[in-house]
Amino acid sequence: MKKVLSLLLTTCLATATLAACSDKTSKEQEVTKDGRVILTGLITKHPLTKNVNKMEWLEEAEKRAGVEIKWEEVTADWEQKKGAMLAGGDIPDIIVGPNAITDADFSKFKGLFEDLTPLIEDHGPNIQKMFEEKSELKVISTQLNGEIYGLPKYQRYWPDTGTRQFINQKWLDNLGLEQPTNWDELYTVLKAFKEEDANGNGDPNDEIPMDFAPIGTGGFGFFQPTVLLGSTGMTIVGGGGQGYFAEDGKVSNFFVDERYKQLVEFLNKLYKEKLISGEAFTQDYTKYQSVARGEGETATVGYTYGWELTDRFGNELAPQYSSIAPLKIDESSTVKPSWTYDYNVLNYGVNMIQMSSQTKNKEAAMRFINELYDPKVSMQVLFGSLGPNIKDNGDETYSILPPEDEKMDPGTWKWTSSWADNGPLYISDSLKLTLGTDMQSVGEQTEALQSALDAIDTENDVLPDTFLKYSEEDNNAMSLVNTELMNLAMANFSKWVTKGGIDSEWDSYVEKMNQMGLPGNIEIVQEYYDDYKSKME
């Protein structure tokens, strides 16, 4: 894929953008033989997701809208590609992906994206109905000046957290160990997993005691060890993001918090003793998933993070694992553990789809966008096409079907089949849909975490970042500072976990973070957070 994109970039150098090539084709062939308007589209999608041209629901949606979309698919290196594309100023007619284009991009590249407000009024009945039923969706779609450049998603069914922590119960039983309840006990368990042939196959060196999802350069996300910050009583959102969190109504950033330092020191202790996968910082997500599937009935990973057991380990190995409760730091700790609180992040999404201001047939593009927000279509955006993925029960109710491939887990099947969580969609509260076994299991596997989640003060200890809309000036200022902060913070995280040194470098690091403008960013977030809370009273 990288080679193809590189070739396209070279070919289109005269216009300095990837999208220009496909845009040229669009302008030369504006209408298909059957009268459909040709549009160009770009989608940032999950690596597991199949070619969009093989999605039945998408072809049907395009036909109903009277369009044919020439899609470019991006599964990696989006930020680099986006930079070149936006700088060139010539973008595809439609861009799809979760916040692939951000509010900061709208501010920086003025005039590049279409204000959808009048188009929604004239050609967006499904979007209008969505805004009427869920007024907060219009709020998170609208810039402070009243313009709408990106449309949202609402997927309704997702739980309070996206990340569960799993441990191989069979390995614990093999070694006569109990589930860990604190960091000290986790260390003891991981050490035993490494040294005592926990999977019982006669090879004491093929176990990976601990593994976590790939760490990006722009901040933290799901399935990463930042969830252990909950052991300190800190409630993060979305796995951590760029470090901003709320505590007793006050905004802070954990990248300069002593509790974060404590976590990094613990992870370094584990890494030094080879209790964390040696590939944790180099593997991609596909490798992260495949390693946990093991070999037949022989598991490879002992303790890790994921969405749901079958999604993480596959159908065959999933029964070996258990979901465990949040850990305390140590046995004497009096701090009540928290956990990453992700309901807003999981069910609401911003800037899921945009339109270029250069689009020649804006009405046709809006007809297609409107189609995506029909609840029946949105159901297919999320779970896959009617027929292979969803059963129409004939009475205005629907049921998610098990994977056609019996060896595939439902979560992987969903991500393979459709845009899934990465798509613009609206699951109406009135839609009658029976969820698949994975979503039913997610609820059960969250039970170990639920008491901690229920105890969270969502008004004062959860930063509602999804719902905060910043002014252009503040957006630009924060974006520049955050880029610098993450360049420093994420590089240091990897270095400190793998090589150590945080204790001696911490003070100078915190000083640099502050010099870069972190206190100013915290002040800005606090201002908008306070304003949001006042409106919710």
At 237-250, the pLDDT tens digits run 999 999 999 999 99
E strand intervals along 230-286 = 244-247, 250-253
Residue 2 has pLDDT above 50, yes or no: no
**Distance (Å, whole) CA 229 – CA 387:** 43
**Distance (Å, whole) CA 153 – CA 348:** 6
Residue 144 has pLDDT above 90, yes or no: no
Q: Which residue has the tokens 């098990």?
A: 402
Residue 89 has pLDDT above 80, yes or no: yes
Report yes or no: 509 and 184 within 8 Å, Cβ to Cβ: no
Report the percent of the chain where pLDDT is more than 90.
Answer: 85
- Please name which of 324, 325, 321, 326 lies closest in space to residue 198, comparing C-alpha atoms: 321
* CB atoms near residue 146 (< 10 Å): 8
E strand intervals along 249-365 = 250-253, 301-306, 321-323, 348-355
Rg (CA), the chain: 24
Phi, psi of 224 (to 5 degrees): -125, 160
The predicted structure's pLDDT at residue 28: 45
Reduced to 3 states (helix: H, G, I; strand: E, B; else coil), residue 143 is coil
Query: Mean pLDDT over all residues of the chain?
Result: 92
**Distance (Å, whole) CA 343 – CA 156:** 9
The predicted structure's pLDDT at residue 178: 98
Beta-bridged to residue 304, according to DSSP, are 166
Write down the pTM of the prediction: 0.80
Residues 6+ apart with CB under 8 A from 363: 119, 122, 123
- Please name which of 266, 261, 216 lies closest in space to residue 241, comparing C-alpha atoms: 216
The tokens for 101 are 């284009």
At 449-502, the pLDDT tens digits run 999 999 999 999 999 998 998 888 898 899 999 999 999 999 999 999 999 999
Q: Which residue has the tokens 């800005």?
A: 524
Residue 10 has pLDDT above 50, yes or no: no
At 192-230, the pLDDT tens digits run 999 999 999 999 999 999 999 999 899 999 999 999 999
- Please name which of 97, 493, 15 lies closest in space to residue 280, comparing C-alpha atoms: 493
How far lies 245's CA from each of 139, 241, 340, 341, 423, in Å?
22, 9, 10, 11, 26
Q: Which residue has the tokens 């994921």?
A: 306
> What average pLDDT does range 114-135 have in this prediction?
97
> What average pLDDT does range 350-361 have in this prediction?
97
Reduced to 3 states (helix: H, G, I; strand: E, B; else coil), residue 408 is coil
Residue 9 has pLDDT above 50, yes or no: no
* 256: DSSP letter: G
Q: Which residue has the tokens 């070149």?
A: 84
> What average pLDDT does range 162-185 have in this prediction?
98
- Please name which of 415, 427, 411, 419 lies closest in space to residue 352, comparing C-alpha atoms: 419
**Distance (Å, whole) CA 187 – CA 268:** 12
**Distance (Å, whole) CA 514 – CA 519:** 6
Residue 20 has pLDDT above 80, yes or no: no
Residues 6+ apart with CB under 8 A from 266: 183, 187, 228
